[in-house]
C-alpha cells in the first residue's frame, strides 16, 4: 500500500465518557482509552464536546490535549462557545457538526450550503489558528460545492444512512458516497467518512479510494466489552487495510 493510499482510523472515545458519566465518578477515563487506542494502531482520536456535555467534558479536552501524542479531532457545533474553546485548545483538527439538543446522536450532515454566511467566518478563524477544518456533510454534491466555496480543506461524509440501509438502497447510497468523495478529491478537498461503521459494513466504504480517514466510535467501544479495545481496534484496522 503506498503512502497516499493509506486510510487513517480515527477512534471516537465519546462513549467511554458516556459510561463514566452514568455513575458520576472518574471511571472509565476517556484519556486511558485514547492512549490504549493509540497503542492499538489508531491514527487519531476523535471527541465531540456537545453543548450539553453529555459525554466528553471540558476537562477531558484539557487532559487529551496534554497527554495525546496522536492528533485530536474535536467535533463541535458552529457556536461562539465552541469556537472559543477550539481556539484556546488548538486541536489538530476541528470537525463542524450539526447539533440538536434532543437528538440521540448526530443525525444528519451539516447544511454547509444553507449556513454559508455563518460558516465563512467560523472556518476562517479556525484556519487562521492552523486548525484543520472539516465539515461533516451528507454525501451530496451541493454540500461538497458549499465546502469548496467555504475553503474547507476536509469534508467528512455522514455515512449513517448507508449503515442503516441494505440491498439495492445500500448500493445506491454507497455510489452517492463514492461520487461525493471523487468530487471532493478532484477539487482538492480531503474526504473522510464516519457514523455507524461496524465490522460488517466498513469494507465497501474503506474501499473507496479517495477516502483518507474513517472516524469510528460507538461500535468499537461497544465491541471492546466483548473482546477488549485493543482487539476491536486491530480487527477494524485489518478490515480497512484488506479493503484498500
Ligand atoms: N464522525 C462524526 C462527525 C460523528 O459525529 C460521529 C458520531 O459522534 C462519528 C464520526 C462516529 O460515529 P459512530 O459513533 O457511529 O461510529
pLDDT at 100: 74
DSSP per residue, the chain: --GGG--EEEEE-HHHHHHHHHHTSS-S-HHHHHHHHHHHT-SEEEEE--TT-SSS-HHHHHHHHHH-SS-EEEEE-SSHHHHHHHHHH--SEEEE----TT-SS--S---TTTTHHHHHHHHHHHHHTT-EEEEEE-S-HHHHHHHHHHT-SEEEEE-HHHHH--HHHHHHHHHHHHHHHHHHHHTTPEEEEESS--TTTHHHHHT-TT--EEEE-HHHHHHHHHH-HHHHHHHHHHHHHHH-
Q: What digits encode the pLDDT tens for the residues 126-166?
A: 999 999 999 999 999 999 999 999 999 999 999 999 999 99
Residue 136 CB less than 6 A away from ligand 1 = yes
Residue 194 CB less than 6 A away from ligand 1 = yes
Residue 197 CB less than 6 A away from ligand 1 = yes
Catalytic residue annotation = 48, 75, 195
pLDDT at 97: 96
pLDDT of 1 above 70: no
What residue's CA is closest to ligand 1, atom 1? Answer: 194
Residue 44 CB less than 6 A away from ligand 1 = no
Looking from the CA of residue 134, the nearest atom of ligand 1 is 3
* Mean pLDDT in residue range 176-186: 98
What integer best gives the mean pLDDT of the chain? 95
Whole-model pTM above 0.85? yes
For a mutational test of ligand 1's pocket, the pick from 73, 96, 104, 105, i.e. the residue with the most ligand atoms closer than 8 A to its C-beta, is 105
For a mutational test of ligand 1's pocket, the pick from 194, 200, 213, i.e. the residue with the most ligand atoms closer than 8 A to its C-beta, is 194
pLDDT at 184: 98
Over pLDDT 90: what percentage of the chain?
91
* Mean pLDDT in residue range 176-191: 98
Over pLDDT 70: what percentage of the chain?
98
**Distance of CA 98 from the midpoint of ligand 1 (Å):** 12
pLDDT confidence bin for 227, thresholds 50/70/90: very high
Amino acid at each position: 500500500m503506498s503512502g497516499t493510499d493509506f486510510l487513517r482510523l480515527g477512534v471516537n472515545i465519546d462513549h467511554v465518557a458516556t459510561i463514566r458519566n452514568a455513575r458520576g465518578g472518574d471511571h472509565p477515563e476517556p484519556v486511558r482509552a485514547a492512549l490504549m487506542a493509540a497503542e492499538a494502531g489508531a491514527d487519531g482520536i476523535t471527541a465531540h464536546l456537545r453543548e450539553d456535555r453529555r459525554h466528553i467534558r471540558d476537562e477531558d479536552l484539557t487532559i487529551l490535549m496534554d497527554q495525546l501524542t496522536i492528533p485530536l479531532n474535536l467535533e463541535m457545533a458552529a457556536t461562539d462557545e465552541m469556537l472559543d474553546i477550539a481556539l484556546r485548545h488548538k486541536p489538530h483538527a476541528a470537525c463542524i457538526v450539526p447539533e440538536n439538543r434532543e437528538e440521540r446522536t448526530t443525525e444528519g450532515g451539516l447544511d454547509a450550503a444553507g449556513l454559508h454566511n455563518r460558516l465563512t467566518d467560523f472556518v476562517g478563524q479556525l484556519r487562521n489558528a492552523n486548525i484543520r477544518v472539516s465539515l461533516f456533510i451528507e454525501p451530496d454534491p451541493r454540500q461538497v460545492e458549499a465546502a469548496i466555496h467555504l475553503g474547507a480543506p476536509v469534508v467528512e461524509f455522514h455515512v449513517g444512512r448507508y449503515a442503516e440501509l441494505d440491498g439495492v438502497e445500500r448500493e445506491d447510497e454507497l455510489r452517492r458516497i463514492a461520487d461525493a468523495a471523487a468530487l471532493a478529491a478532484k477539487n482538492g478537498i480531503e474526504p473522510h467518512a464516519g457514523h455507524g461503521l461496524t465490522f460488517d459494513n466498513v469494507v465497501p466504504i474503506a474501499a473507496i479510494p479517495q477516502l483518507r480517514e474513517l472516524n469510528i466510535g460507538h461500535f468499537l467501544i461497544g465491541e471492546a466489552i466483548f473482546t477488549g479495545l485493543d482487539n476491536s481496534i486491530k480487527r477494524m484496522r485489518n478490515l480497512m487495510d484488506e479493503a484498500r
